[in-house]
Amino acid sequence: MKGEILKMLSRAEGYTSGEHISEQLGISRTGVWKHIQSLREEGYTIVSVRKKGYRLEHSGTGFSAHAVSSKLRTEGIHIEHHEKIPSTQTRAQRLAQGGARGWTVVTADEQTGGRGRRGRPWSTKKGTALAASIILRLDKLPQEAAAITPTAAVIINDVLQRYGVDTRIKWPNDILAEGRKVCGILTEMHAEMDELHYLIIGIGVNVNETDFPEEIKPTAVSLRHLTGQEWDRSALLAALLDELKKRLPEFEENGFTPFREDWLRYSTVINKEITIHQRHQSWKGRAVDIREDGRLIVETETGQKEVISGDISI
């Protein structure tokens, strides 16, 4: 409800009367007033003038469900926010198993057990990071769904570039700036052989961190480091969700194909000599292309190989 009120106030030219809000949202005038008070306590500056109503003067930079909702331009996205949670990904899994609809998004201000691929940890510090897991129910076959990771990487990269950050995609699931990791994407799916039940895209962005745990200091970077300014996490997440909501139907219709050229342009690995680290082996080659299903094509002395999973060092 607070998100709806914020949305109305931020879209209004001047004042919005309490009566209008109460009519539009089907709540009492006292209810409106209580929500306004609660928003003020969270740091929003809302001016009220008798007979005129309310006007939003300063939209806070807090990270909450209604802060994100009020900044979304697209409809149909439901946010479940947690102040502290082990992992938004695990919570989203549970919600999806319980039947939650597509475009339910779990967010958190702090994750105590944030995870990356193969059980690796993902650091999400309180008050500075962006952590979100999006439940998607797409009309796709399981084998077609894997290419959602490079597709999401292109879309996220576009949004960050629009904000003026020079980011690049590192296969399979990282977004780098100045050669360091600013964002990680974790895609998980629940499927049978011929039926995709749901996908969960987990997005972790380093936003306002000024410091990182010792073990990732050399390889991690935050948007704040890169731009020298504090970012509004809810505005950034709203922008990411809007863009994903707008462009994923294209993936549902035509797969990775419409995104592939952009991926190649943004990639840090194409035409580079790389080492691929897989579970039981590491080998060298030259990355030359990406397939429509998201597999990386690598030229080696013994011919071309397709890589489904692994980590790359350049």
Q: Which residues are annotated as a binding site for biotin?
A: 111, 115-117, 181
> Would you count residue 17 as binding ligand BTX (CB under 6 A)?
no
Give the one residue of 104, 111, 128, 208 binding ligand BTX; rule: CB under 6 A.
111
Among residues 150, 184, 285, 294, the one that binds ligand BTX under rule CB under 6 A: 184
- Other beta carbons within 10 angstroms of residue 311's beta carbon come to 17
Is residue 309 close enough to count as binding ligand BTX by CB under 6 A?
A: no
Instruction: Give the shortest CB-247-to-ligand BTX separation in angstroms.
Output: 20
Considering the complex, what minimum distance in angstroms separates the CB of residue 108 from ligand BTX?
A: 8
2-11 vs 29-41: helix crossing angle, rounded to 10: 90
Per CB under 6 A, 93 contacts ligand BTX: no
123 binds ligand BTX (CB under 6 A): yes
Contact of 180 with 219, CB cutoff 8 Å:
yes
Q: Which residue, 53 or 114, has its beta carbon nearer to ligand BTX? A: 114
Residues 124-153, mask of contacts with ligand BTX (x by CB under 6 A): x------xxx--------------------
Buried b / exposed e over 45-78, threshold 16 CB at 10 Å, is ebeeeeeebbbbeebbebbbbbbbbbbbeeeebe
Q: What's the sign of the alpha-carbon dihedral 214, 215, 217, 222?
A: negative
Does 114 sit near ligand BTX (CB under 6 A)?
A: yes
Alpha helices, H only, the chain: 2-11, 18-25, 29-41, 65-71, 88-97, 142-145, 148-162, 223-227, 233-254, 257-266
Quote the crossing angle between the two packed helices 148-162 and 233-254, to the nearest 10°: 140
Q: Which of 54, 122, 231, 266 binds ligand BTX (CB under 6 A)?
A: 122
Contact residues for ligand BTX, defined by CB under 6 A: 87-89, 111, 114-117, 120-124, 131-133, 173-174, 181, 184-186, 202-204, 206, 216, 219-220
